[in-house]
Amino acid sequence: MTQSPFVVLWRVMNTCNLACPFCAYDKRLAFPRSVVDTQEVARMIDLLGQWRPGRPVVLSWLGGEPTMWQDFETMTARAAHAGLRQSLTTNGTTLGSRRMRATLAERFDEITISVDAIGTRHEELRGWPGGFAKLARWVPELVNAAPDLMVRANVVLMRQTVDQFETLCETLAGWGVRTITFNQLGGRDRPEFFPAHRLRPQDAARLRAALPALRQRMHKRGVAILGGDPYVDRILQSAEDGQLPITSCQVARDFLFIDEACRVAPCAFVEDHFGIRTDQLLSVRDLDAVSGRLCADQANRPHDACENCMSTQQFSKFAA
């Protein structure tokens, strides 16, 4: 049985080159953009490389668009040298670069590409004219150049796109994508976009009914659609405006989120709550203790967001 890794997800910048109307990092939005302190990232990479938690450690890069980070090449090389596994979530706009594809092939175990719909609908949702056609060329080129790289697609499901999900999965399989994850549109980032595009209960119910047969078809093509029953049930519950309070969050047992200000939390919904920063993690002993600190603090002093938990890690998004 393969041992599950400990994932450190680091959002290194809140700048992006696309204009997604559902995303907080839409390039059209006027707010101060920030980027992580590279020296602190380098220090943490070295510390994580010394850590031996009894299972693999994966350093997962997030943005904005992390491949736009000016230190992406330098820091991913450092992480590879430190012996860390690496993953990446990207909008795919830099995959046309042969150099980028070579970097991913050499240093990464897994990348996740955001693809939300077929053709022009995806392009409209991402503010990227011609983008879907480019991904249709670039993703197979990446797969061919990096046969050992796990290429995953993540799909944001909306009322207007959920009926395309099965066709999209078939298309992604044709590109060489080997795992597919999905999440429902959330309302926190862009509340003005959410009401007209959120999943309705009937949309979520159709998705749940269609998934078993779709999983079987994709399995025959060598593609896994991830997301356990609790995750699918949570999507339906959320579409019905159901609340799910969490009194004992266990996400930090397997997962840490770090933002561009170097704040440490169990998830991206509560990064301002716990008062732990990476510059307080000075030794492997500190790393050993941080998950327990976060879990205990959440139980004793939950964030308001814990009254209706939307963390996908809490609800088996990545279960096979």
Q: pLDDT averaged over the chain? A: 95
Please state whether the predicted TM-score (pTM) of the whole model is above 0.75: yes
Q: What is the pLDDT of residues 209-224, one digit of tens each?
A: 999 999 999 999 999 9
Q: Characterize 24-38 residue by residue with b for buried, 16 or more Cβ atoms within 10 angstroms of its Cβ, and e for exposed.
A: ebbeeeeeeeebbee
Domain ranges of the chain: 6-315
Superfamily of domain 6-315: Aldolase class I (3.20.20.70)
Compute the distance between CA of residue 235 and CA of residue 183 in angstroms, rounded to an integer: 8
Do 117 and 125 meet the contact criterion of CB atoms below 8 Å apart? yes
Angle formed by the axes of helices 131-145 and 119-126, to 10°? Answer: 100
* Tokens found for residue 48: 């994580």
For the sheet containing 224-225, what is the strand order? 224-225, 179-184, 150-157, 110-114, 85-90, 57-62, 6-11, 255-258, 263-265, 276-277
Q: What is the pLDDT of residues 13-64, one digit of tens each?
A: 999 999 999 999 999 999 999 999 999 999 999 999 999 999 999 999 999 9
Tell me the β-bridge partners of 6.
57
The torsion defined by the Cα of 210, 211, 215 and 221, in degrees rounded to 10, comes to 50
